[in-house]
Amino acid sequence: MVIPNAQQLVKNQTIKLAKVLTRKKRDEGDVTSSEPKLARVLGLADLTFLGVGSTLGVGVYVLAGAVARTNAGPAVTLSFLVAAIASAFAGLCYAEFAARVPKAGSAYVYSYVTVGELAAFIIGWNLILEYVIGTASVARALSNYIDNLAGNVMQSALKEALPINVSFLSPYPDFLSCGVVLILSMLLAWGVKESTALNNCFTVVNLLTVLTVIVAGSFFVDFTNWSIPKSSIPSTVENPGNGGFLPFGITGVMAGAAKCFYGFVGFDCVATTGEEAKNPKKDIPLAIIMSLIIIFLAYFSIATVLTLMLPYYEQDVMAPIVYVFEKVGLNYIRYMVSVGAIFALCTSLLCGMFATPRIMYAMGYDGLLVKQLSKIQRTTRTPVIAIFYAGIFSGIMAAIFDLDQLIDMMSIGTLLAYTIVAICVLILRYRDPEPVVFDHPMMERQNGVPKPEIIETAGSLRTVFNLNMNKYPNKSTETVAIWAIFAFIATVIVFCITLVQLEDSLGDGMAWAIITVAVIGAVALIIVFVLCRQPQSQAKLSFKVPCLPMLPCLSILMNFYLMAKLDLHTWIRFGIWLFIGMLVYIFYSIPHSVEGIKDKMAKQERTKHFNINATSEDIKL
């Protein structure tokens, strides 16, 4: 008997662990089962309103004025344009994946199909946190808004009756926000058709309010407000910049774009409806693109009207629309904005709550979370248990937590999801679609290789730059592409951290800082060029990301840059949540993973088949 040495044992266990962590979800198609399924009732209009509703929240009434005053001036319009383009990069990646994998679960299921189980669990775990915090914060904002309209009666009464004297908690328990979350949870459990009908109504009211503001404001525009010289700005104004259209320069436009980018976050909830859309492969990509266009037009138009009605340095940061219209004598707009803001908060809340149970359902279905979360109620055909737990979790957080410090954690979850989806699109495009089907002669004929006896290695320059002009992916080109993708990710991380750390030096024109950033940027461009040289999959899809690999690479760059801008405390809180998730994954997900159980059963079947064949051979002998 041969006893493996310790080194071999460690090697075998490492390989086994790597296989577990990178095992991928196999698409079983629409397998018939007695278990109830989610109802396919959502059309293109429902999905588009879902994307608009989840994204176009109360920020549309606040963000433009705030960014104009503090960051970009009239060029806030350009900030929204840049933010919309950056969001479109992520949106296009989501659209392609929706065309490839029409399943519930959004970025979680996309990464499970492409990268592997561990990456999928991390994304799913963080998306749950993102949506729960998003729901709780919007519920709290809605409660505060209503209380403010009533003269802060609730706040005063609860602070006196039930004070909470803990630094990181709310000063008082907010029962209204918790109650709103629980009521909307019951609505979501009632049926997807009913909840989306209500969301459509809320979103239409919100869009009509935005349209009214734009039309009413257009009668009071003054184009000279975009070209005010610095000499005409009152000396009492703090930090007015240099006047004109770009008072804070291109730097201000980009700083404003970083803030505006978060105004486009939320469209990804459309991707969680893969099993409820009537025609997911066609409608989800279209809905994502259409919702982003509508959202951009709303933000851009509001920003244009506000900065043309009133000089940028006079904008009110907290309530710019109300303030501007009071200045021109239209006080009744205050009430319209209040109604619109309440409906915007309601639709944001409903859409945020819509996404959370779908992620939990998908993870429960795959065995990475408790299996009960994947149970579908037969009459309503909704994931009632997942909705119940998501509602309770969000309601408690809304009631007792002070969410100001937690909101940044939403950003990490969203940006990480955007990044993983972009990476997954790149991996799938360069993957050999059917590596087993093509034998060497076929691949040589397709790729036009004249000498079959020449064997290339992935490390040769000829292979790296595809000098053989291969037209179709094979194992060699796929290997080069995968290494290039991960090299690009590593380079971009270094580039973004360096860029953030050297911002002041770059602003001062320090030569060493410029050279450092330029060198790292050049390395990233060379890697992108290597990717451009690799052949892509020719699989036919209802939607594909154009200009690949440039657009996904730009999406990855933008997301990492925004993540690098987040503060250290946010990363620490994120690390704690991730640590809890790893404990769940190790002690529950790995043993209960559906893909893991399938692998074990397949291994047992192979062993059984081998034993039967061996026994047959022994009998013959």
HEC-encoded secondary structure of 261-320: HHHHCCHHHHHHHCCCECCHHHHHHHHHHHHHHHHHHHHHHHHHHHHHHCCHHHCCCCCH
Give the separation between CA 277 and CA 48, rounded to whole angstroms: 11
Report the CATH number that the domain containing residue 120 is assigned in CATH: 1.20.1740.10
Last residue of a domain, one of 513, 536, 559: 536
Q: What are phi and psi of 329, to 5 degrees?
A: 90, 10
In this structure, of 130-144, 283-297, 400-414, 545-559, the range with the lowest mean pLDDT score is 400-414
Beta bridge partners of 277: 42
Together in a domain, 401 and 511: no
Q: Indicate whether 425 and 470 sit together in one domain.
A: no
CA–CA separation, 447 vs 462, rounded Å? 14
Torsion region of 5: left, alpha or beta (phi above 0 gives left; psi -120 to 50 gives alpha): beta
For all residues of the chain together, what is the average pLDDT? 85
Q: Tell me, yes or no, whether 331 and 275 share the same domain.
A: yes
For 534-568, the pLDDT digits (tens) are 999 888 888 899 998 999 999 999 999 888 888 78
**CA gap 485, 488 in Å, rounded:** 5
Give me the amino acid identity at 267: F
3-state secondary structure of 470: coil
Percent of the chain residues past pLDDT 90, beyond the cut = 41
* Residue 443: per-residue pLDDT: 43
* 38 falls within a domain: no
Q: Is residue 5 part of a domain?
A: no
- The per-residue pLDDT for range 589-617, each reduced to its tens digit, is 999 999 989 888 888 877 777 666 666 66
pTM, full prediction? 0.86
Q: What is the extent of the structural domain holding 224?
A: 44-228+244-430
Task: Give whole-number Cα distances, 325 to 13, 315, 335, in Å.
Answer: 68, 11, 11
Check whether the bond before 311 is cis (ω within 30° of 0).
no
Residues 401 and 512 in one domain: no
Q: What residue spans of 379-474 are helical by DSSP H? A: 384-400, 407-430, 440-447, 461-464
| Mean pLDDT lowest among 328-342, 378-392, 416-430 | 328-342
CB atoms within 10 A of CB 88: 20
Residues 110 and 220 in one domain: yes
124, 363 in Cβ contact below 8 A?
yes
Segment 398-423 mean pLDDT: 79
Residue 21 lies in a domain: no
Identify the pLDDT of residue 507.
Answer: 77
Express as a percent the part of the chain with pLDDT over 70.
90
Per-residue pLDDT tens for 111-164? 898 888 988 999 999 889 888 888 888 888 888 888 877 788 888 898 888 888
pLDDT for 487 equals 95
Domain end among 536, 567, 587: 536
- Residue 21: in which H helix or E strand, if any? helix 6-22
Provide φ and ψ at 288, rounded to 5°.
Answer: -60, -45
Whether residue 577 is contained in a domain is answered as no
User: Are both 289 and 388 inside the same structural domain?
Assistant: yes
Phi, psi of 243, rounded to the nearest 5 degrees:
75, -175
Q: Are 461 and 134 in contact (CB under 8 A)?
A: no
**Residue where a domain stops, chosen among 536, 551, 570:** 536
Q: Express each pLDDT in 212-253 by its tens digit.
A: 999 999 999 999 999 999 888 988 888 888 889 999 988 889
Do 253 and 178 sit in the same domain of this protein?
yes
Q: Does residue 485 share a domain with residue 396?
A: no
pLDDT at 388: 94
- pLDDT confidence tier of residue 456, bands split at 50, 70 and 90: very low
The answer to whether residue 127 sits within a structural domain is yes
The predicted pLDDT at position 3 comes to: 52
Question: Hey, what amino acid is at 468?
Answer: N
Domain presence at residue 491: yes
260 and 378 inside one domain:
yes
Three-state DSSP class for residue 559:
helix
Within a domain: 568: no
**Domain count of the chain?**
2
Residue 186 shares a structural domain with residue 262: yes
Which positions ≥6 away from 150 have C-beta within 8 Å? none
- Indicate whether 416 and 367 sit together in one domain: yes
Task: Tell me, yes or no, whether 368 and 288 share the same domain.
Answer: yes
Q: What is the rounded CA–CA span in Å between residue 337 and residue 344?
A: 10
**Domain contains 76:** yes
